[in-house]
A and B are shown apart, each in its own frame.
Chain A
Amino acid sequence: MHRFLKTVSSSEMRKTFLKSFLLFSVLILSQISFGKEKEDKHGEEGHGKDLKTEIKEYIHHHLQDSHDFSLFSYTKENGEHKYVGFPLPVILWDDGLKVFSSSKFHHGETLAEVDGNHYKLYHSKIYRTDANGTIDYDESHHPTNIKPLDFSITKNVVMIIVTGLLMLWLFSSLARSYTKNNGIPTGAGRFFEPIVLYIRDDIARPNIGEKRYKKYMPFLLTIFFFIWFLNMFGMTPLGINVTGNIAITTALAILTFLITNFTGTKDYWMHQFNPLGDSLPWYGKIPLYIILVPIELLGLIIKPFSLLIRLYANMQAGHIVIGSLIGLMFIFKSWLGSPLSFGLAFAIMLIEVLVALLQAYIFTMLSALYFGFASEEHEHDHGHEAEVAH
């Protein structure tokens, strides 16, 4: 790493400075966008509700997925509410495929009428209603209206597609530049090569083992960069929260779960159903296995479950903390509050940049660890028995 730094020429130093400056301005700008949205909302409906519930609602709204990509909104002089952003396609399955633009909802303010059916956007979910848009509730205040199957291209889906395309372009162009330059990294390759090598040499090799690690490398690299990029997108002023969405982390964890179990060796499954091996006669095993085998099987589910909860909770918590700290500005309402809230939010934002990398690392690391469990070979067990015998 030090060697690498010393060889950087002065023009590249300037570039590095420019890049770090850009990163800082993104961090600062995202706070401005947070604050701006908050302010507008305050101006609009600040009469009925008190400020604290409003900030809570705002943060909650920010954490959720939405059917349109709105950057910010403001209220005009004449009271008209203006949104800046673009609508996204809504795809519903409700006795046939219904495709329309989310601009029909006008950000939840109006009903969308498609083929004689009326749809209402209520708390970011689409319900079928009558022409007046009435929503019926049960005792616990849950809507009882019909909810059509929603396959819409929402904000999160857009960001996933964008990240996927970005990774496809970035890494395939990197691969091309490597073949062109006889394996010498250029440009972005200098940044990404150490990371890729780190994942191979410090995550995959020691955890999975020399023999089988190559098979898992594509998945580990993909999941690392996918999570890292999405986490970093969450720090931009676009106001997206993809990895803080439990459905997406669940999908990622299910991939790890499937790969672990479908590539598992015979010894891995023996370990699940016969954890004590030949160390006990069969009549000794029965009382133990009544407890042991269910625990081992539960462990199969708990491992990916902890993966998904960790990533989701970390990213969600980060966004809540930043949102709350910016909310302080509107609670204090004095010259003292703004710098305090700004400073705190900025510091947390810097920590979040670290957390973004750390969570991607932990997810990859633990996935590799689980793949390592699934790749255990029998010699390994013999080694253990020999140790016990000593």
Chain B
Amino acid sequence: MEIPVMVGAGLVVIGVGLGIGRIGGSAMEAIARQPEAYGKIQTAMLIAAALIEGIGFAALFAV
């Protein structure tokens, strides 16, 4: 394992964290605005989060 690879993986994970954080935050705001759409927002949030998470895992397995 080389140091550039590790740093790169770390950077990717930071990006993934920011991305999922934004999705979660936006979903919270959306639910606060429209509590009745809770189920739909949650589903969409989980799908988006899962798609981004895949990239994070790809980076971790590159290490």
- Report whether chain A binds chain B: yes
List residues of chain A with CB under 8 Å of any chain B CB. Answer: 202, 306, 309-310, 313-314, 317, 358, 361-362, 365-366, 369
Chain B interface size, as a band, is 10 to 19
Within 8 Å CB of B60, what residues of A?
313, 317
- Chain B residues with CB below 8 A from A317, complex form: 57, 60
> Do residues B46 and A313 form an inter-chain contact, with CB atoms below 8 A?
no
CA distance A366 to B47 in the complex (A): 7
Partner of B57, one of A309, A362, A365, A369: A309
Tell whether A313 pairs with B50 under 8 Å between CB atoms, given A202-B43, A365-B43. no
Q: Are A310 and B46 in contact (CB under 8 A)?
A: no
Q: Mark B22-52, 1 if CB is under 8 A from A, else 0.
A: 0000000000000000010001001100110
Most B CB contacts (10 A, CB to CB) among A310, A314, A317 go to A310
Write out the residue numbers on chain A whose beta carbons fall within 8 Å of the beta carbon of B63. Answer: none
- The A-B contact count (CB < 8 A) is 31
Interface contact A362-B58, CB-CB below 8 Å = no
| Chain B residues proximal to chain A, CB less than 8 Å | 39, 43, 46-47, 50-51, 53-54, 57-58, 60-61
With most chain A CB atoms within 10 A of its CB, the pick from B50, B51, B60, B61 is B50
Chain A: minimal CB distance from B51 (Å): 7
CB<8 Å pairs between A and B, sample of 27 = A202-B39, A202-B43, A306-B51, A309-B54, A309-B57, A309-B58, A309-B61, A310-B50, A310-B54, A310-B57, A313-B54, A313-B57, A313-B60, A313-B61, A317-B57, A317-B60, A358-B46, A361-B46, A362-B46, A362-B47, A362-B50, A365-B43, A365-B46, A365-B47, A366-B47, A366-B50, A369-B47
Give the CA-CA distance A202 to B61 in the complex, in Å. 33
Complex Cα–Cα for A309 and B43 (A): 20
Given contacts A202-B39, A306-B51, whether A314 and B46 have CB atoms under 8 Å apart is no
Residues of B within 8 A of A358 (CB): 46
Nearest B residue (CB) for A363: B50
Q: Of all chain B residues, which has the CB nearest A358?
A: B46
Contact A314 B43 (CB under 8 A): no
List of A residues within 8 angstroms of B53 by Cβ = 310, 314
